[in-house]
Amino acid sequence: MDAAHQENQAARRPGKSAGSTDQPMRITVLGATGSIGKSTLDLIRRNPDRFSIVAVVAHSKAVELADLARAVDADCAVCADEASGLALSSALSGSGIATGAGETAVLEAVDRPVDMVVGGIVGSAGLKPTLAALKPGRILALANKECLVSAGDLFMRTAEDMGVRILPVDSEHNAIFQVFEADNASEVEKVILTASGGPFRTLSLAEMEQVTPAQALKHPNWEMGRRITIDSATLMNKGFEVIEAFHLFPIRRDQLGVLVHPQSIVHGLVQYTDGSLLAQLGAPDMRTPIARCLAWPERMSAPVERLDLGKIANLTFETPDLGRFPALKLAMDALDHGSVATAALNAADEIAVEAFLTGRIAFLDIARLVGETVDAVLQQHGGVRFAGVDDVLAVDAHARALAVEWTERRAS
C-alpha cells in the first residue's frame, strides 16, 4: 500500500465515537457480576483509554464484585444487598474504591455523573435503579428486558422525557437496531426475532413433563444467567422479547414475528416494502451486541469468533409451535392486554422459574402458573394505568403473592 493510499484510508476512518472522545467515556455497570456485566467489563478492560468505569453494582456477590472493581479501577462498588456491605468494604479496603450497600447506596451510585449506564440487572429488581439511570445526556445500554416487560410504557416515556437514548443490548433487538433504517421506518413491513428453540425444541409435551432443571439449564448456544436460560427453554424469553421489541421500535404489534432458528447465527431481521429482508448475523457471543452499544455510533473491535459461513453451511428456520411452547403465546396475549398483564407476566414468571429450579413445580407448570396468575391479576387490576413505578411494583407484588400461593397449592 503506498503512502497516499494509507493517508486516504486513515482520513476515511471515523475519528471519534461516544467512547473515543479525548476523555474516556464514563460508564456505570448495573449487574456487574452477571453474564452481561462480565462481558461488558471484559470489553472495557481491553480498551482502558477509551472507557473508564465509575460504578459497578451487583446484588450480593461481594468478593466477585470487589475483584471486578479492582480490575477495572472503578470509582465505586455497591451491593444492593445490605448484608453484603461488610464483605464488600473489607474486600476493597485500602483500594481507594468507595463502597456501599443497600437500595439508597445503589441509587447514589447511579446518580454519579456518567455518559452511559449498562443495565444488566436481572428481573424487575432492576426497574428502580435502571429508571433512576435515565438522566439527561446519558445513553442507556439496556439488557434488563424485564424493565420493558414490567413497565414498558412508563420506562419509554421517562427515557423520552429525559432525552435518554436507549441502545438495545439484547442480541435480537441489537440485531434489529443494526438493520432498522430509522429514515425508512414507514417502509418497514415486519420485524422478526429469532429464537434458538432452547434445549427442548424437538421434545413432545409428554417428554417435557419430565425434564429437570439441569437439562433446562443447558442452553444449546448461549452462556447466560439462570433465569433467562430457563426462559429460553420455555420460550417465555422470546415472548418477553416480543414485548421488548414493541416498546423499542416504532412498529405495531401485528408487525412482530418470531422464527425458530436453532443455530442462533441470524439474530434478527427487518423486512421492507420493497421485499428486502435485512438481517444481522454473528457468533452467539454477547460481546458483539455489547460492543455495538459501547462504541455506538461507531464500531469497535470485539474478541469474538468470526463466522465461517462455508463451514456452518446450513442455517435453518422453523415456525414456533405455540402448542408445545404456551409461554410464548401467554406473553403475546399479555402484550395485547396491556401493561398490567405484562407486569404480572414477568412477576409470575420470576416466581415460577425459581420454583422450578428448586424442584417445587414441574417444567410445564411454569406456563400454567403464569397463565393463571396473569388472568387473576387482570381480573383485579385490569383497568389500572401505571402513573409511576409504585403502581407497577404493586401489581408486581400482587402477582408474586398469587404465584407463591399457586406453588404452595402444587406442593401440597
Ligand X SMILES: CC(=O)[C@@H](O)[C@H](O)COP(=O)(O)O
Report how far residue 22's alpha carbon sits from residue 6's, in angstroms, rounded to the nearest whole number. Answer: 23
Taking CB under 6 A as the binding criterion, the range among 114-122, 157-165, 326-334, 373-381 that sits at the site for ligand NDP is 114-122
Residue selected from 44, 53, 228, 352 as contacting ligand NDP according to rule CB under 6 A: 228
125 binds ligand NDP (CB under 6 A): yes
Q: How far is CA 331 from the centre of its chain?
A: 16
CA 317/CA 321 separation, integer angstroms: 12
The DSSP bridge partners found for residue 78 are: 57, 100
31 binds ligand NDP (CB under 6 A): yes
Q: Cα separation of 98 and 77, whole Å? A: 6
> CA neighbours within 13 Å on the CB side: how many for 111?
6
Which among 34-42, 69-77, 123-131, 166-174 is the span making contact with Mn ion, rule CB under 5 A?
166-174
Residue 198 interacts with ligand X (CB under 6 A)?
yes
For residue 122, the partner it binds in Mn ion, ligand NDP, ligand X, none, with Cβ less than 5 to 8 A by kind, is ligand NDP
- Phi and psi torsions of 257, nearest 5°: -135, 160
142 binds ligand NDP (CB under 6 A): no
* Dihedral-angle region of residue 285 (phi above 0 means left; psi in -120 to 50 means alpha; beta otherwise): beta
Question: Judged by CB under 6 A, does residue 234 bind ligand NDP?
Answer: no
Handedness of CA 223, 224, 228, 229 (dihedral sign): positive
Q: Using CB distances below 5 to 8 A depending on partner kind, what does residue 58 bind out of ligand X, Mn ion, ligand NDP, none?
A: ligand NDP
| Nearest-angstrom CA–CA distance, 328 and 213 | 19
In the shown chain, the binding pattern of residues 233 to 252 toward ligand X, with x for contact by CB under 6 A and - for none, equals: ----xx--------------
Separation CA 154–CA 159 (nearest Å) = 9
220 part of the interface to ligand NDP, by CB under 6 A: no
Contact mark string toward ligand NDP, 70..99, x via CB under 6 A: ----------x-------------------
Can you list the alpha helix ranges (DSSP code H) found in 83-164? 85-91, 103-111, 127-132, 146-162
Choose among Mn ion, ligand NDP, ligand X, none what residue 232 binds, the Cβ cut-off being 5 to 8 Å by kind: ligand X
User: According to the binding rule CB under 6 A, does residue 32 interact with ligand NDP?
Assistant: yes
d(CA 212, CA 101): 35
Is 407 a binding residue for ligand X by CB under 6 A? The answer is no
CA angle centred on 294, ends 163 and 99, rounded to 5°: 85
Q: Is 120 in the site for ligand NDP (CB under 6 A)?
A: yes
> Closer CB to ligand NDP, residue 145 or residue 292?
145
Q: Does 170 bind Mn ion (CB under 5 A)?
A: yes
Q: State yes or no: 61 annotated in a binding site.
A: no
- Give the residue with the Cβ less far from ligand X, 62 or 266: 266
Nearest to 193 by CA among 341, 332, 342: 332
Rounded to whole angstroms, the Cα distance separating 133 from 111 reads 7
Q: Is 280 in the site for ligand X (CB under 6 A)?
A: no
Interface with Mn ion by CB under 5 A: which residues? 170-172
Interface with ligand NDP by CB under 6 A: which residues? 31-37, 57-61, 80, 120-122, 125, 143-146, 170-171, 222, 224-225, 228, 286
Interface with ligand X by CB under 6 A: which residues? 170-172, 195-196, 198, 222, 228, 232, 237-238, 286
Task: Could you list the residues known to form a binding site for NADPH, using ranges.
Answer: 33-36, 144, 146, 225
